Amino acid sequence: MSSTDSTAPVPGRPPGPARPAAAGPQTAHPPGASGAVPADRPGARTRRWARRRRLGACAALMGPFFVLLVAVFLVPVCAAVWLSFFSDDQPGLGFGPERTVFAGLRNFEAALTDPTFLSGLGTAALYCVVYIPLMVLCALALALLLDSGAVRLRRTAQLSLFLPHAVPGIIAAIIWLYLYTPGLSPVIDLLHHADVRVDFLGVRMVLPSIVNIAMWSNLGYNVVIFYAALQAVPREVTEAAVVDGAGPVRTALSVKVPLVRGSAVMVTMFTLIWSLQLFTEPMLLSQATPVVGSRYTPNMYIYDAAFTRNNYGLAAAASVVLLVVTIALSYGLSRWSNRTADTSEGDSGER
C-alpha cells in the first residue's frame, strides 16, 4: 500500500509538467515557488499565456492517446486485478448457492500450482529463446544485406519480405497449417519423394513449426525497422571505415551494427512482448494436432480458464501473472541494454 507522505506533492505546485518550464531562462527558480511569481509582471503573463497554449496543444494532441490508454488498457488491467482476488465461492461440493467472495491470493496460488499453466510459461520461454535471437539476427542480416547494395532488386526484395506482414496472423496460420498437414501439403509430398519424413505437427517439431510461421509473418516488418535505422547511419562514417581498409563485412559488423543498437533493443523488446502473448498460431494448430493442447501457451491457458472452465477469477489471476512477467522481462531488458550501452561508451572513451 502506498503511503501518502512519500508521494505528497508540494501544495503550491502548479499542475502540468514543471520541467520544461523550469528548463527555460529562469533555471534557478525552485519549482515549488513558481506559484509565488507576482501575476502583474508583463513577462510572466505572456509566459503563462504561452505555457497555457502549449499545455492546450499537448492536451489536444495527447488526449486521444490517454483516453485510449485508460479505456482499453488501464481499465481492463484494473478489472483483471480486481477480478483475480474474487471468486464465486461454492463451499463443500458446490451444489449450494454461489456467493462472490474475496478470495485473497487463492486464484494466484491455483494458477502457480497448476502444472499446465507452468508448462505453458515454459513453452513461452522456450519459444522466446528460439524465436527472439533468430528473428533479431535474421532481420539484422537481411537489413544489412539490403543496405550494402548487394541486393539488386532492393525494392522488390523489400516488398516481398514485408508482404507477409500484411497477412493477418490467422490467415498466415491457415496457410502454414495447409503446408504442414500430411496428405495435403505439397512440401511434405516433395520431401517424401526425397525420402525425408518430417512430421511438422509432431510433439518435437510443432514449436519450430510455430516459430517458422511467426518468422514468416514478422521478419519483413523488423527488416524495415533495421533498414530505416541503417539509412540514418551517416555516410561519412561508413566511408571512413572503407578508407581505413575495412571490407563490407567488417564495415557492417563493426561500424553499422553498433550504430543501430537502439533499434535492436526495440525490436527485441517488441518481439519479446509479442512472443509472451503467443495465441493465434497455436490456437489454430491445436485444432489440427493433438500435441498442441488447449493450454499450450499462457494466453491459451487464460482463454481455456475463462471459456472452458468458467473460472474467471483464475483466468484473471493468470493474466495478472503474465502481465507481471512481461513487465519484469521488458524492464530487465531495458535496464540491461542501458547498462551495456554505458559500459560500451565508457570503453570507447578510454580508447
Contact footprint for another protein (CB under 8 A): 79, 82-83, 86-101, 103, 106-107, 109-111, 113-117, 202-204, 289-291, 293-295, 304-305, 307-314, 317
Q: CA of 27: how far to CAs of 19, 31, 36, in Å?
A: 10, 9, 15
Which helix H or strand E contains 47, and what residues bound it?
Answer: helix 42-68
Taking the least distance from each CB to another protein, the nearer of 91 and 262 is 91
CB of 146 to another protein, least distance (A): 40
> Rounded distance, CA 39 to CA 237, Å?
52
Residue labelled with grid coordinates 527555460: 24
Taking the least distance from each CB to another protein, the nearer of 161 and 314 is 314
Phi and psi torsions of 2, nearest 5°: -85, 130
DSSP characters over 180-243: HSTTT-HHHHHHHHTT----TTSTTTHHHHHHHHHHHHHHHHHHHHHHHHHHTS-HHHHHHHHH
CB of 282 to another protein, least distance (A): 13
Taking the least distance from each CB to another protein, the nearer of 278 and 314 is 314
Instruction: Identify whether the C-beta of residue 297 lies closer than 8 Å to the C-beta of residue 279.
Output: yes
CB of 319 to another protein, least distance (A): 13
> Rounded distance, CA 261 to CA 267, Å?
10
CB of 91 to another protein, least distance (A): 6
Taking the least distance from each CB to another protein, the nearer of 85 and 227 is 85
CB of 99 to another protein, least distance (A): 6
> Rounded distance, CA 148 to CA 295, Å?
44
CB of 276 to another protein, least distance (A): 21
Instruction: Identify whether the C-beta of residue 215 lies closer than 8 Å to the C-beta of residue 169.
Output: no
Taking the least distance from each CB to another protein, the nearer of 107 and 263 is 107
Taking the least distance from each CB to another protein, the nearer of 120 and 220 is 120
CB of 221 to another protein, least distance (A): 33
Angle CA 176–177–178, to nearest 5: 85
- Go through 144-176 and write b for each residue having 16 or more CB atoms within 10 A of its CB, e for each that does not: bbbbeeeeeeeeebbeebeebbeeebeebbeeb
**CA torsion angle for 287, 288, 289, 294 (degrees, to 10)?**
-10
Instruction: Identify whether the C-beta of residue 170 lies closer than 8 Å to the C-beta of residue 284.
Output: yes
For 213, other C-beta atoms within 10 Å of its C-beta total: 23
Taking the least distance from each CB to another protein, the nearer of 290 and 349 is 290
CA-wise closest residue to 253 among 156, 134, 148? 148
CB of 86 to another protein, least distance (A): 6
CB of 124 to another protein, least distance (A): 17
Taking the least distance from each CB to another protein, the nearer of 114 and 167 is 114
Taking the least distance from each CB to another protein, the nearer of 46 and 308 is 308
